[in-house]
Amino acid sequence: MGRTASTGHLDLLLLAALSHGEAHGYAVISRIRERSDGQFDLLEGTVYPALHRLEEEGLLGSHWVVEGGRRRRTYALTTSGRKALVAKRADWLTFASGMHAMLGATA
Amino acid sequence: MSDRKRDGVSDRTSDGTSDDMSDGRPGQPADQSAAADRRDDSAIERYLDRLLGELRADPRRARRIVAEAEDHLYSTAHRLEQAGTDRSTAEAEAVRRFGQPTQVAASHGGLRLRDLLRPATGLTALGLVAVGVSGLVAEGMGRIWGADFVSGDLPGASYTPARCSDFAEYFPGRDCLTAAALHHWGEVVDYRVAAGVVGLLLLLLYRFLPRRRPLPDGAAAALGAILFLAAAAVLSLDSLNAATQGAHGMGASLSAALVAGVAGVAMLVRAWWAHVPRRTPEPHGQAAT
């Protein structure tokens, strides 16, 4: 997959990245890039609207910390976020399994 | 510096790479790094200025977006500098990776219809207040040049006997046309002042309406200028028409045209002022480089 990850699965990527612990936006993007072996190299500035939206939906919580004289917004999964991650992960595995079967049958 | 790592929470990836982004630059205390980052010629600072200008968000949300962008960009630049990239190249690369300001701002959402409620209320209120002020101007004109100047009828106008007797009730002892002019002068003033009072109430409502995503700088003022100046032009033509026919009733349009013209010019100045570049004050104590 190229530089822009599928926007439809961006939420799942962000929730999965934060399942490993709270992090700020830069760290979230780094985690996604590193854990996907570079497959998902997101356009960095457009990740923050997704983080904000997930927070408005109650799936993430955030707070300011001050480091190096600069404010940094740190995000973490909420209980609803962890449930949503479980559900989205299951949906994705079902989709991937079906797609794998389909592609495997026509290979 | 606050400790971001907590028990049970790992900031390390499965291959051991740390995504811990300390902002301390080599040889420099971390608490000085933020202040040292801000230079007038910084690509990141220019980017943040553009981003702020492109955002259509309420003030608090805009501040959050810009603060997060600032943190992200300087973190990226510092990481690249630590890898050996020079400062200017690092900042340019950080900005490139983040995305165009217009694109990033658009991704945070644009204007919605409800975002227009406050500016529309404000413009409507100003319009009604202008009508009210024109009523006061018409009152003044009538006192100086007479009711016929403000609301007299054009040559050839006439009223039915029943209508004339109505006028005579309000202004006994006056001929029909004079009484009609006096009556209409009162209506011009009263109705316009009433509109002005409604405008003031709307201004009060405007004061308490929630600020949503703002329009581009000067946009509401520019629209107001267009509306007021267009009204001034039309009303001026109307009063000119009356002037060519003996100036009867010229004041009704002229009073409105004057107020609309002044309001339009004021709006035009406000719209222009929103786009005048502001000189950035020199940082205190820093020598020019």
pLDDT tens-digit readout, B76-118: 999 999 999 999 999 999 999 999 998 899 888 766 667 788 8
Question: Across the interface, do B64 and A73 touch by the CB < 8 Å criterion?
Answer: yes
**Residue B159's Cα: distance from chain center in Å?**
47
ipTM value: 0.84
Q: How far apart are CA B220 and CA A104, in angstroms?
A: 59
- The two beta strands, A60-67 and A23-24, are unpaired
Closest-CA residue of A relative to B31 is A68
- pTM of the predicted model over 0.90: no
Amino acid at A13: L
Q: How far apart are CA B72 and CA B146, in angstroms?
A: 70
Contacts of A6 (CB under 8 A, 6+ apart): none
Question: Across the interface, do B68 and A46 touch by the CB < 8 Å criterion?
Answer: no
pLDDT at position B13 is: 40
H-helix or E-strand containing B241? helix B219-243
Is residue A35 within 8 Å of A17, Cβ to Cβ?
Answer: yes
Q: How far apart, in Å, are the Cα atoms of B251 and each of B140, B143, B242, B248, B254? A: 10, 11, 9, 8, 5
**Tens digit of each residue's pLDDT (9 = 90 or more) over B129-148:** 999 999 999 999 999 999 99
Kindly state the tokens that stand for A87.
């559900």
Across the interface, which of A26, A66, A70 has its CB nearest the CB of B76? A26
Across the interface, which of B4, B11, B23 has its CB nearest the CB of A70? B23
Least confident of A20-24, B39-43, B114-118, B280-284: B280-284
Number of CB atoms found within 10 A of residue B7's CB: 4
Q: How far apart are CA A48 and CA B62, in angstroms?
A: 12
